[in-house]
Structure 1
Amino acid sequence: MREGAEAAPAGGLDDDELITAWGLLHEAMTATEPLLLRGIDPGGGDMAGPWFEVLIRLQRSPGHRLPMSRLAREVSLSSGGFTKLADRLERKGLLVRQSCPSDRRVVYAVLSPEGLELAGQARERHVALLREHVQAPLGPDGLRRFAELARTLRDSAAEAADTPPRPAVSGRA
């Protein structure tokens, strides 16, 4: 055992194994994410990760709309950061804001027809990149297992933080 490392609890990992496992997960995500965004904007523009995530989440939501506060949480942006992003998407004609008729405090982000078309095109490219850079190396069974493990981590973190888990981008809980 290395200096400073504690013995593993019965059936568990020792400190170094635990740190290595977490580090590998972080490195894998950091290395893979840029590959999954490469060429994602079918118009050849520069669609940064948060833009794409907003468009995909709205595309996959009933009525292609979500409350702005919920969408900001789901894409891990502050309300101010999300407002700036929504402003840019609205200026580009990709989303519109709609007031909730039953609750004046709620404002929905809704995909425009142009936003829906762009989201569909970007989704097709994203799926091809996911198949190439995620499914191919892991295989279908490995990817299913990875999704199961990621869901477990997400739900455990939400429970520890005493917050409801965010819905998966895939639309499945």
Structure 2
Amino acid sequence: MGRDLLDDQRLTAVGLFFEAHTGLNARFAAQFCEHHLSPVEFEVLMRLARSPGNQLRMTDLAAQTSLSTSGVTRVVDRMERDGLITRRACPTDRRSSYAVITQAGLTRLDEILPGHLELIEQWFTGQLRPEQLTVVLDALRTIRDAVNPGATAGTTPTEHVVVEV
């Protein structure tokens, strides 16, 4: 194997990205645990809270997370038992259902987010100058859109459903 292959800047870029991701996940996981949530449960709550109507179709939730459709079903089942989210039938398609964050889920996020934002500031955004953060955000969106085009599925309101939780 040639030395120039091992010194390829592409390996360095992806290696640094994974190292940063792993380090941030470790910092965040401890905080999620304090609030009795797994990282994926936090991600689900955030995705729902930041979506129109605080809801997403189950298939869109799967596309936006690292979970398969069956994995999303298991997580939603567990979170529904905990009262953090609920399911609603889609009024226009019997085969689809929505995951909807409940008031208890929003309250849990309200408890977590101040400390979580402090961690983000300390270990991620606060490490960058404003112009660097802009470049990083643009680059991450470009990469995300290429490798996970479904990551924003369901985030634009296509139908207006009134949901009471």
* TM norm. shorter chain > 0.5: yes
Residue 26 of structure 1, aligned match among 18, 29, 49: 18
| Counterparts of 1:139 and 1:40, CA distance in 2 | 27
Alignment-mate amino acid for residue 79 of structure 2? L
> Does the CA-based 8 Å contact 1:74-1:166 persist in structure 2?
yes
Aligned residue for 1:47, secondary structure, equals coil
Q: Does 1:93 align with 2:83?
A: yes
Instruction: Give the length in aligned residue pairs.
Output: 154
Q: Please give the residue correspondences for 1:70-109 in structure 2 after superposition, counting only pairs within 5 Å.
A: 70-109=60-99
Deviation (angstroms), 1:67: 0.4
Deviation (angstroms), 1:34: 1.6
Aligned residue for 1:5, secondary structure, equals helix
Residue in structure 2 matched with residue 147 of structure 1 by the alignment: 137
- Compare 116-125 and 20-29 and name the one that shifted more: 116-125
Q: Please give the residue correspondences for 1:116-135 in structure 2 after superposition, counting only pairs within 5 Å.
A: 116-135=106-125
Q: Which runs of 5+ in 1 are unaligned?
A: 7-13, 159-163
Q: Does 1:113 align with 2:103?
A: yes
Aligned residue for 1:102, secondary structure, equals coil
Deviation (angstroms), 1:32: 1.5
> Does the CA-based 8 Å contact 2:63-2:150 persist in structure 1?
no
Residue 47 of structure 1, aligned match among 24, 28, 37: 37
Aligned residue for 1:128, secondary structure, equals helix
Q: Which runs of 5+ in 2 are unaligned?
A: 156-165
- Compare 46-55 and 148-157 and name the one that shifted more: 148-157
TM, length-normalised to structure 2: 0.83
Aligned residue for 2:56, secondary structure, equals strand
Q: Deviations over 1:119-150 (max 9, x none)?
A: 22222222111111101212322222111111
| Counterparts of 1:146 and 1:118, CA distance in 2 | 29
TM, length-normalised to structure 1: 0.79
Residue in structure 1 matched with residue 151 of structure 2 by the alignment: 166
Q: Which structure features the higher share of helix residues?
A: 2
Residue in structure 2 matched with residue 161 of structure 1 by the alignment: none
Aligned residue for 2:151, secondary structure, equals coil
> Does the CA-based 8 Å contact 2:35-2:112 persist in structure 1?
no
More relative contact order, 1 or 2 (CA 8 Å, 6+ apart): 2
> Does the CA-based 8 Å contact 2:48-2:54 persist in structure 1?
yes
Q: Deviations over 1:1-33 (max 9, x none)?
A: x93526xxxxxxx95222112111111111122
| Counterparts of 1:155 and 1:84, CA distance in 2 | 26
